[in-house]
Amino acid sequence: MSARYPRRTAEDAAGRSDQCPATASSSRPNSDGESNRGTHHHSTEPSRSTSAAVAQSERKPRSPMSRETARSHGPTLNTAAGRGLSWPVRQDVAVDDSRSAGVAALFDRVAESYENVGVPWFDPIGAALVDAVAPAPGERAVDLGCGRGATLFPLAAAVGPPGRVTGIDLSAGMLEQAAAGVAARGLSTVDLHRMDASAPDLPPASYELAVSSLVIFFLPDPAAAALAWRELLVPGGRLGISTFGPRDAAWEHLDAVFRPYLPKHLLDARTSGVSGPFGSDRGVEELLLGAGFDRARTLGLDLPVTFADPEQWRTWSWSHGQRAMWESVPEAERDQVMAAATERLGAARDRDGRITLTQHVRFTLAEV
């Protein structure tokens, strides 16, 4: 692996936190405040490993997001060649955390089915995040935890050439799918790296835009990751992240069928969103403010997801991160869990038998 780029130290971060009392782990009621921070960055070009014409595909229609109050506050796991991968993904992996390695392995298992079972889910969220950060043509953008490209591809279309998009992810399987998408679209402005989003080894102060859709709550230390992401941005650069807010009552009731089986880390507030930084708009904003970002604010989207029947829900729930919940249930008990889920899904059926559940998604935006 190449030498790591120099970045700001924890001491520098501590210096900034004097100016910004918000901490990454606190979750407080909303309040407005103001702080302005000056930052120094070195200008460096992001790495560029692939090239061809960016397909200027039509932008998806804007999603019906509600704008909430804008607030101003202020290792190494060396992979082999990644399962014989033949796409232009650079293997700059750096991860020393077993939890992250476990998450990456989970996403390797779902990579083929992810967003590929006829239930639009990550794509609309990714497109809405890209709309929220309003990329401008020519901007350099980085997608942290790009997966198969739900955000990467709308971003590449928006910045077009001469814009550039760097996508990083820890899952070789997800990157393989992303690379297939790059090839299918004939994109020359996208480069992909197998890399830990907790501490991306990318040049500091080199991107106008950083996005990360539904990733930060998987990271062992989200506050440290936010700090590292800030380092990637030029002065005035923007960050947009999406995280899950509350789901509707039917969905909460449905997911409760897994609860007796879930290990502690799957009950963690960061992913269940009950408390901690991911429990409220303000909590996520403070996470970013604590990392030295400015003008943290939240947009919200209530995203309905419709299943033809409980079987489609089952297929879908195995096709992404929720697979970890199924895998926590002993095989002999899975039919029983499915029966309970089917009963609960029944309550959400409409006259046509279709099942619609609603998830609130947060888009937290901030600037350097």
Ligand X SMILES: C[S@@+](CC[C@H](N)C(=O)[O-])C[C@H]1O[C@@H](n2cnc3c(N)ncnc32)[C@H](O)[C@@H]1O
> Rule CB under 6 A: which residues touch ligand X?
100, 103-104, 107, 122, 126, 145-147, 150-151, 169-171, 174, 196-198, 213-215, 218-219, 321
The smaller minimum CB distance to ligand X, of residues 161 and 220, is found at: 220
What does the H/E/C string look like for 231-280?
Answer: HHEEEEEEEEEEEEEEECHHHHHHHHHHHHHCCHHHHCHHHHCCCCHHHC
Of the pair 17, 359, the CB lying nearest ligand X is at: 359
For residue 58, the minimal CB distance to ligand X (Å) is 20
Query: Which residue number is nearest to ligand X in terms of Cβ?
Result: 147
Block residue for tokens 């109050």: 69
Query: Minimum Å distance from CB 162 to ligand X?
Result: 24
How many angstroms separate the CA atoms of 46 and 65, rounded? Answer: 32
Give the residue with the Cβ less far from ligand X, 35 or 271.
271
Q: Return the percent helix, strand and coil in the chain, to nearest 5.
A: 35, 20, 45
Nearer to ligand X, 103 or 329 (CB): 103
Least distance in angstroms from the C-beta of 339 to ligand X: 27
Nearer to ligand X, 16 or 362 (CB): 362
Tell how strand 355-367 and strand 233-247 pair up. antiparallel
Closest contact distance (angstroms) between CB of 35 and ligand X is: 29
Edge-to-edge, what's the strand order for the sheet holding 294-307? 66-70, 294-307, 355-367, 233-247, 207-213, 140-144, 164-169, 190-194, 89-90
User: Shortest distance, CB of residue 224 to ligand X, whole angstroms?
Assistant: 11
Per DSSP, the three-state class of 328 is helix
Say whether 124 sits in a helix, a strand or coil: helix
- Closest separation in Å from C-beta 110 to ligand X: 9
Nearer to ligand X by C-beta: 122 or 313?
122
User: How does strand 190-194 pair with strand 294-307?
Assistant: unpaired
14: left (phi over 0), alpha (psi -120 to 50) or beta: alpha
Work out how close the CB of 60 gets to ligand X at its nearest, in angstroms, rounded to a whole number. 14
- Calpha distance 160→225 (Å, rounded): 27
In this complex, which beta carbon is closest to ligand X, that of residue 135 or of residue 147? 147
